[in-house]
Structure 1
Amino acid sequence: MSAADTPDQLALFGAEAAVVVRRSARARRLSLRVFPHGLVEVVAPQRAAERSIYRFVSDHQAWIQRARREFGASPQARMVDPPAEIGLAAVGEAWVVAYGEGTRRLRAVPGADGGSIRLTGPADPVWRVQQLRRWLQQRGRAVLEPWLAQVAFETGLAYRGVTVRRQRSRWGSCSARHDISLNCALLFLEPALVRHVLVHELAHTRHLNHGPAFWRLVGRLAPDFEAAERELRAAWRSVPAWVNHDPM
């Protein structure tokens, strides 16, 4: 989240609705997004009145309920708590997380097919989630950077640099200078889908749009790309809520 965005966790309508508000200096109007976990995010201008946000959400209840049904999400609030386990399908890892008091420290001990994470510090769920997000980005760099290099070698598509971040709405992106940005949330997807995203972004080093030439190139490199693109539209369901939302 950029410095221009201010997280403003606001539980609307009591415990029956999991709605959070994110105030953004870039926002010019109120907008809604429903996540696969059933959580609803309202993006609001910095000066938007709370009563206006309440009314906006109330006026869109039918749309919210329809979107939740499409995701198969419960209409009840799902609290975002620090996880007890982090499963990374992309690399077949399961990390058991334990919490304790003491000096602020996150210690990750690799093991067979994952490992254990011991996080000590304040018993603040927001702080704990923030530390785990940092660990997730580190794990993402360790996994995704060499994976991208390997796929680039296999496809003959070169890029200039790569960053791994925690993006809220994109799996990846490629700049005009061939710098690729990847979402650490890719670690929650199956390996075939991760590889497809890497191919997709590498193809943008040749074509910076989604025109016919771009899709022809993707089709040559990944013949099953149409099915993969369809799967990606629903793949956010695989990303745990704590990755993008703070505990309430």
Structure 2
Amino acid sequence: MAVYRIGERQIEYTLRRSPRARKASLSVTPQSFELLVPEGATDNQINAVLDRRRAWIIETVQHMQERAKAQTRVYQFVTGAKIPYRGRMTKLSIEPFDGSLVEINFRNGFQIRRPRDLSPESSDAIIESTLRLWLKRRVRDDARDFVRRLGARHGLKPRGVQIKDQKHMWGSCGLDRQINLNWHLIFAPKPVLEYAVVHEMCHLKHRNHEPEFWDLVARVQPDWKERKDWLDKNEHLLGWERVEASV
């Protein structure tokens, strides 16, 4: 992470260099912002861009901090607790059984069976870990389905799709044609996840965000703006924070 200093304040951001970038551009990521610059940009040129956009940076970072405070908090993974899933808050139903591993199913809510002999001290952590794995597999399967259905139709064929725990971006497309997606996209409505996949697939042909890139996105997904707007406005809903109950 790079650091931009405003007085005594230090703001972390992602600096990305690209041989295809013609000029510098700033964009918002889930918890920070990203600066894309041409590969040969100097430190002085980078600092000049940041200084010109100082007011925007301060406003954006404050806005993201306010949204972070509104993130879903989970105190215990027990029946009646709720987590976000596909754009809405969804209840958990948890019951003990005689198996040895936590089992998860989804039918109008999460049905979670936990081993009867699981200690209360370890129950929350094990249920949370298993639930995260289940969600990551679901977003992976959805993303691969979108690639198969939309990629071949438009000549966009990535080498593969990987689901990652990314802190500062929703997705990326490497020079190796590998698409990476933030697993937190499973908390967004399915059409929004589809937009994120389309966005990264279009980077297979256009590595920047010039008009040609957005023209391609529009050909693949004509209503992409509505889906992107939802993501921009509701990013604070995509995930949960587990909070230890105070005694």
Partner of 1:195: 194
Aligned-pair identity in percent equals 24
**Paired amino acid for 2:114:** L
Q: Partner of 2:102: helix, strand, or coil?
A: strand
The amino acid across from 2:160 in the alignment is G
The letter for the 2-side match of 1:223 is P
Deviation digits for residues 150-198 of structure 1, max 9, x if unmatched?
A: 2213333111111122322322211111111122222221222222111
1:218, CA displacement in angstroms? 1.3
For residue 129 of structure 1, what is the aligned residue in structure 2?
A: 128
Unmatched segments (≥5 aa) in structure 1: 1-25, 34-39, 42-61
- Among 92, 102, 107, the alignment partner of 1:106 is 102
SS in 2 for 1:164: strand
Higher relative CO (CA 8 A, sep ≥ 6), structure 1 or 2?
A: 2
Number of the residue aligned with 1:89 = 86
> TM-score normalised to the size of structure 2?
0.60
Alpha-carbon distance in 2 for matches of 1:63, 1:157:
36
Q: Deviations over 1:192-225 (max 9, x none)?
A: 2222111111101111121222122112222333
Rounded Cα–Cα distance in structure 1 between residues aligned with 2:159 and 2:64: 40
Displacement of 1:146 in angstroms is 1.9
User: What residue in structure 1 maps to residue 161 of structure 2?
Assistant: 162
Instruction: Find the residue that maps to 1:177 and give its secondary structure.
Output: coil
Tell whether the 8 Å contact from 1:86 to 1:97 is kept in structure 2 after alignment: no
User: What is the letter of the counterpart of residue 89 of structure 1?
Assistant: R
Confirm or deny: 8 A CA contact 1:126 1:247 kept in the other structure: no
Give the direction of change, closer, same or farther, for the CA distance of 1:31–1:69 in structure 2 (3 Å limit): closer
Distance change in 2, residues 1:222/1:232 (3 Å): same
Q: 1:31 to 1:133 in 2, by over 3 A?
A: farther
TM-score (ref. length: structure 1) = 0.59
1:82–1:128 Cα contact (<8 Å) kept: no
Q: Which residue of 2 aligns with 1:174?
A: 173
Residue pair 1:95, 1:117 contacting (<8 A) in 2 also: no
